Structure 1
Amino acid sequence: MISSVPLPRTFSAADPAGIDQMLSQDERDVRGAVRRFCDENVEPYVADWFERGELPGVRELAVGLGELGVLGMHLAGYGCPGMTATEYGLACLELEATDSGLRSLVSVQGSLAMFALHHWGSEEQKERWLPEMAAGRSIGCFGLTEPDAGSDPASMRSHARRDGSDWVIDARKMWITNGSVADVAVVWAQTEEGVRGFVVPTDTPGFSAPLIHHKLSLRASVTSELVLDGVRLPADAVLPGVRGLKGPLTCLNEARFGIVWGAVGAARSSLQCALDYAGSRVQFGRPVAGFQLTQAKIADMTLEVVKANLLALHLGRAKDARGLLPVEVSLGKLNNVREALDVCRTARTILGANGVSLEYPVIRHMVNLESVLTYEGTSEMHALSIGHAMTGHAAFR
């Protein structure tokens, strides 16, 4: 009698838990297309960009990403592909496996600026901006964080007032990805009606976006300050679909979902680098990979990458099926970024002194994740969000 039990698959160090079998062919195709784009257009150059602290050719890169279909890929209509959350997550994983700055460019464009327009904008605003942004011909940024208002956006000082039928905005925003190259900024400000979002073309008089220099993290990324001095906008510049902090926080939750996946990519890249290095580096007459302490490190890293990948996949499937609660995204962001950072630090020890060299991706991923740990919700705030959900007590109020 022939058994119906399938034969065991061949073990692969690239997929030790067989997660690929849980993906559809369409999902694998999306992942493969993004990986090929990164390998051809970014991977050979990103260490040099990081060392120089710049992202040259960002507009050409944005157009290429638009042609690839990853800008606003989980949005539907207005030139957006309308793909699933899981497909978007897989794209974020591959983008960040190359560099967090690349994933940040895509995340801010699609999950912050485009999502705000798609979810809260008027029909005119959507028609004006979304097709161009999906194609990468227009770049967007998202202005929420301020010098004195990070985790507590309700304390923002940016203010918009009515002047006749116009709005006049005075604002200072910090740590804004894409700011200096953006064509449009979604800026949040206090008004007499509560917090409102405004669609600000960056060529509007009074708007400027100076670059932030001296970064030691996310160096292959455009990071800027936004300065709005008496910026005058027409009445229809306001996002009509939302008032209050629900607007920006909903957008941030979309972006955090991408981070849940992206962190897996950074960790996977560092694990693979450490594995390759340990197999070729010979000490005391044999490869470093043959020593028990090295194997223990590799086993621990492998477990964390697999667990983070499974958590991301679960949240992607849940988001596609029923949507996610904010606390579910906090679970993913807190765990995956924290564990990815630990994986990178452990991988660095396997590489020894070479681990601090940009000839290898590990130190770049490690310092990038220090920013990812903080932005779009610090680890402390996500821990408190989970604590609030579990206990019913809001410790941060």
Structure 2
Amino acid sequence: MSEEEQAFFDNETEELCQMIDDWKATHEDKDLSPEVWQFMKDKGFFGLVIDKKYGGKGFSAYAHSTIVMKVASKSSSAGVTVMVPNSLGPGELLYHYGTDEQKNKFLPDLAKGRQIPCFALTAPEAGSDAASIPDKGIVCMGQYQGQETLGIRLTFNKRYITLAPVATLVGLAFHLYDPEHLLGEQEAIGITCALMPHDHLGVEIGNRAIPLDMCFMNGTVRGEDVFIPIDWIIGGRARAGQGWKMLVECLSIGRSISLPACATATGALSFAMTGAYALVREQFNTSIGNFEGVEEALARIGGLTYILDACRRLTVTAVDHGIKPSVASAIAKYHMTEMSRQVINDAMDIHGGRGILLGPRNYIGRAYQSMPIGITVEGANILTRNLILFGQGAMCAHPYLRKEFYAARDGKLAEFDQALFSHGGYLFKNFCHSFWHGMTAGKLISAPESRLAKYYQQISRMSATFALTSDVALLYLGGALKRKERLSARLGDVMSYLYMASSVLKRYADEGEPKEERIYAEWAVQHCLHNAQVAFEEFYQNFPQRFLARVLRRLTFFWGKPYKAPQDRLDHKIAQDMLNDTEVRRRFSKLTYVPHNDPEDPVGRVEHAFNLRLEVTPILAKVKKAVKAGEIAKGALKGQIEQLRQRGSLSVQELQLLQRYEQARWEVIQVDEFSKESLQNNKKDATIIKRSDVA
């Protein structure tokens, strides 16, 4: 980050996290406090990516991602509240597609929080199939401010709209029709995006929804026969019908930044807190982090978090280079939210009862509770994996497929023949590469100077085989491959794991290949290659042409399956590393809100005990030695401290430090309790809205 971005991250973002009481916001108020809302507006959190000339921060995608990540580590609800105005919404659409007049009118107010935006896309019967939204607008003449005006008469019914209950500026997607040909010859113009004030005549901001007990604002937007001037189309009348293109391009940016940032926040916080808790929490007279079963879960948390951050960094780099990475963003959205789900599940398993009892002391319960939100929004994960990853990626990434398609569509036979001939050469080249690399196990592939050079070779080997397998599948199945969703999904998995493995190697190289990170990088790449191998095998097992499947399998795994999941020894090294104050842990902690000197904060309380535990390690070794020698009895540490004081076995300073640790440890394992009266007083009336137009 630049100096300005780093200062904002270190100061304003840190201060915002300090202000947030997530338990009070989610359990009691069902809203962030007025002070938090005002702070976010005043300090520019809603204008992180708006250009400085419009009063925004003009921050990079990487800074945007890192800021959202830190806020989300303190409060999922606050993270969503910050990310939405900076992601898919009026601000993003205006910045890229708005007219100069629209930009000058709206962007300064959006940047300063004087306007709160929402974007209404999803309808009751059009969720994942967003292109089928029933909302429509008819081009017509109407009255606006006492004058006859060319405009659009809208009817719409939207739900799941984040920030809608507090929005002052509503973005809307709808199908536009021009039956009177007031704009031109075309009658069905297509999906269009427009802006309107929340209090415009006929616009109804409906009731709030509660997404899994989170307190970020979400609700409905409705309207019937709402007339708006034609100039309220984002980009003006010249952009009529271009809404779907605009949405797809901006959606890729949101998927590249917002959801990966929240997923990585869950990973980084789980890394820091679960390792700390596993050291402090003892059962059977030893830290639970020393048990092999817990080590397995800890290693997954550590390795997957490393992948999460590597993939986040690589994907936002594309955005900072002006690329709209539709495929990479889909990979990030699907796999990162799924990995985050695995991480929080493992964190909950290790915390046990400490994690499932909600209250002010619980720092992972709300993250666990909110996990399905990221899985569901901006394209449900089932849809993303089965229809988008490979289906969209094949057309975008293939060097000849797009040329063939458009040449055939437009009847350009010479261009089609040239592309088809080149495609044949490409197919033959990949066949030769796959055969040769399979025979030599990829060991002759050139690779950069690196401690992990063998992994560069194996990713290159699998990439050539993936290209060949994809081409064969496309040539044999043609358009039917899109309907063979599970085959398509497995090819998408291969591509995704190779992308994530590449991102890990890039992150490791960018950091200068530090020795302390090698175990994490190796675990991550081994995990990705093994899962790519599983996806390949499942694809071959289910490919309908059995002869081709056998040939492809032989080329891919000439000497058998080469990739193993990370072994127990590597798991042990990572788990033990997570039980110490290492450089890797410090790096992840810096990306999240981990107060180091605040034992009253739920996260700070664990961090405080963790640091004391590391400090008293030599003293605890003396205690265990005394127990083994029969000098003091087995039992709780508190009783042993008293015995040691009576025997004079420890110095005054050692006893005091041990007592401080014992008190801190005791505070960490405590859970929240509520009286019956306090729970009854917090009851809120819940109303189920029954309307004919609500699904």
TM-based fold match above 0.5? yes
Q: Quick check: 2:267–2:308 contact (8 Å CA) kept in 1?
A: no
Counterpart for residue 438 of structure 2: none
Counterpart for residue 174 of structure 2: 189
Q: Spell out the pairing of 1:65-80 with structure 2 (5 A cutoff).
A: 65-76=40-51, 77-80=53-56
Cα–Cα, structure 1 residues 234 and 337, in superposed 2: closer, same or farther, change >3 Å? Answer: same
- SS of alignment partner, residue 245 of structure 1: helix
Give the structure with the higher percent helix.
Answer: 2
Alpha-carbon shift at residue 27 of structure 1 (Å): 5.4
Query: 1:61 aligned to 2:8?
Result: no
Counterpart for residue 212 of structure 2: 216
Counterpart for residue 325 of structure 1: 325
Q: Quick check: 1:92–1:259 contact (8 Å CA) kept in 2?
A: no
Cα–Cα, structure 1 residues 305 and 29, in superposed 2: closer, same or farther, change >3 Å? Answer: farther
- SS of alignment partner, residue 221 of structure 2: strand
Counterpart for residue 634 of structure 2: none
Identify the range of structure 1 (321-330 vs 241-250) with the bigger mean alpha-carbon deviation: 241-250
Identify the range of structure 1 (165-174 vs 312-321) with the bigger mean alpha-carbon deviation: 312-321
Query: What is the rounded CA distance, in whole Å, between the counterparts of 1:319 and 1:293 in structure 2?
Result: 40
Counterpart for residue 369 of structure 1: 371
Query: What is the rounded CA distance, in whole Å, between the counterparts of 1:27 and 1:341 in structure 2?
Result: 29
Counterpart for residue 244 of structure 2: 245
Cα–Cα, structure 1 residues 70 and 215, in superposed 2: closer, same or farther, change >3 Å? Answer: closer
Query: What is the rounded CA distance, in whole Å, between the counterparts of 2:63 and 2:211 in structure 1?
Result: 31
Query: What is the rounded CA distance, in whole Å, between the counterparts of 1:292 and 1:24 in structure 2?
Result: 42
- SS of alignment partner, residue 367 of structure 1: helix
1:167 counterpart letter in structure 2: I
**How many pairs align?**
371
Q: Quick check: 2:155–2:223 contact (8 Å CA) kept in 1?
A: yes
1:170 counterpart letter in structure 2: T
Identify the range of structure 1 (327-336 vs 379-388) with the bigger mean alpha-carbon deviation: 379-388
Give the structure with the higher percent strand.
Answer: 1
Cα–Cα, structure 1 residues 280 and 381, in superposed 2: closer, same or farther, change >3 Å? Answer: same
Counterpart for residue 204 of structure 1: 200
Q: Deviations over 1:142-195 (max 9, x none)?
A: 000111101111110111112301222110111011001000010011112211
Counterpart for residue 39 of structure 1: 17
- SS of alignment partner, residue 55 of structure 1: coil
Counterpart for residue 466 of structure 2: none
Counterpart for residue 272 of structure 2: 272
Counterpart for residue 286 of structure 1: 286
Q: Quick check: 1:70–1:91 contact (8 Å CA) kept in 2?
A: no
Identify the range of structure 1 (68-77 vs 256-265) with the bigger mean alpha-carbon deviation: 68-77
Cα–Cα, structure 1 residues 233 and 24, in superposed 2: closer, same or farther, change >3 Å? Answer: closer
Counterpart for residue 507 of structure 2: none
Q: Quick check: 2:118–2:171 contact (8 Å CA) kept in 1?
A: yes
Counterpart for residue 94 of structure 1: 70
**Structure 1 segments unaligned to the other structure (5+ residues):** 1-22
Q: What is the RMSD computed on CA atoms of the aligned residues?
A: 2.2
Alpha-carbon shift at residue 285 of structure 1 (Å): 1.7
- SS of alignment partner, residue 373 of structure 1: helix
- SS of alignment partner, residue 195 of structure 2: strand
Alpha-carbon shift at residue 38 of structure 1 (Å): 3.4
Alpha-carbon shift at residue 46 of structure 1 (Å): 0.9
Question: Which of the numbers 82, 99, 103 marks the counterpart of 1:106?
Answer: 82
Normalising by structure 1, what TM-score? Answer: 0.87
Query: What is the rounded CA distance, in whole Å, between the counterparts of 1:302 and 1:63 in structure 2?
Result: 36
- SS of alignment partner, residue 81 of structure 1: coil
Q: Quick check: 2:278–2:288 contact (8 Å CA) kept in 1?
A: yes
Question: Which of the numbers 155, 164, 172 marks the counterpart of 1:170?
Answer: 155
Alpha-carbon shift at residue 28 of structure 1 (Å): 4.2
Query: What is the rounded CA distance, in whole Å, between the counterparts of 1:327 and 1:151 in structure 2?
Result: 17
Q: Quick check: 2:25–2:33 contact (8 Å CA) kept in 1?
A: no
Identify the range of structure 1 (346-355 vs 387-396) with the bigger mean alpha-carbon deviation: 387-396
Query: What is the rounded CA distance, in whole Å, between the counterparts of 1:233 and 1:25 in structure 2?
Result: 44
Q: Deviations over 1:337-356 (max 9, x none)?
A: 11011100110011112211
Alpha-carbon shift at residue 293 of structure 1 (Å): 1.7
Alpha-carbon shift at residue 200 of structure 1 (Å): 1.1
Q: Quick check: 2:252–2:324 contact (8 Å CA) kept in 1?
A: no
1:64 counterpart letter in structure 2: F
Q: Deviations over 1:123-148 (max 9, x none)?
A: 22222221111111210000001111
Alpha-carbon shift at residue 101 of structure 1 (Å): 2.1
Question: Which of the numbers 164, 173, 177 marks the counterpart of 1:179?
Answer: 164
Query: What is the rounded CA distance, in whole Å, between the counterparts of 2:125 and 2:29 in structure 1?
Result: 25
Counterpart for residue 128 of structure 2: 151
Query: 1:387 aligned to 2:390?
Result: yes
Counterpart for residue 10 of structure 1: none
Alpha-carbon shift at residue 279 of structure 1 (Å): 2.2
2:137 counterpart letter in structure 1: A
2:190 counterpart letter in structure 1: G
Query: What is the rounded CA distance, in whole Å, between the counterparts of 2:304 and 2:255 in structure 1?
Result: 19
2:200 counterpart letter in structure 1: T
Query: 1:297 aligned to 2:300?
Result: no
Instruction: Report which of the two structures shows the higher radius of gyration computed on alpha carbons.
Output: 2
Cα–Cα, structure 1 residues 63 and 255, in superposed 2: closer, same or farther, change >3 Å? Answer: farther
Counterpart for residue 3 of structure 1: none
Query: What is the rounded CA distance, in whole Å, between the counterparts of 1:75 and 1:244 in structure 2?
Result: 20
Query: What is the rounded CA distance, in whole Å, between the counterparts of 2:86 and 2:227 in structure 1?
Result: 26
Q: Quick check: 1:160–1:168 contact (8 Å CA) kept in 2?
A: yes
Q: Deviations over 1:319-364 (max 9, x none)?
A: 2235142001111111211101110011001111221123322221
- SS of alignment partner, residue 40 of structure 1: helix
Query: What is the rounded CA distance, in whole Å, between the counterparts of 2:324 and 2:39 in structure 1?
Result: 30
Counterpart for residue 7 of structure 1: none
- SS of alignment partner, residue 376 of structure 2: coil
Q: Quick check: 1:271–1:344 contact (8 Å CA) kept in 2?
A: no
Query: What is the rounded CA distance, in whole Å, between the counterparts of 2:91 and 2:346 in structure 1?
Result: 37
Normalising by structure 2, what TM-score? Answer: 0.51
Alpha-carbon shift at residue 255 of structure 1 (Å): 1.6
Cα–Cα, structure 1 residues 260 and 274, in superposed 2: closer, same or farther, change >3 Å? Answer: same
Cα–Cα, structure 1 residues 50 and 327, in superposed 2: closer, same or farther, change >3 Å? Answer: same
2:134 counterpart letter in structure 1: R
Query: 1:81 aligned to 2:49?
Result: no
Alpha-carbon shift at residue 53 of structure 1 (Å): 6.7
Using CA pairs under 8 Å that are at least 6 residues apart, name the structure with larger relative contact order, 1 or 2: 1
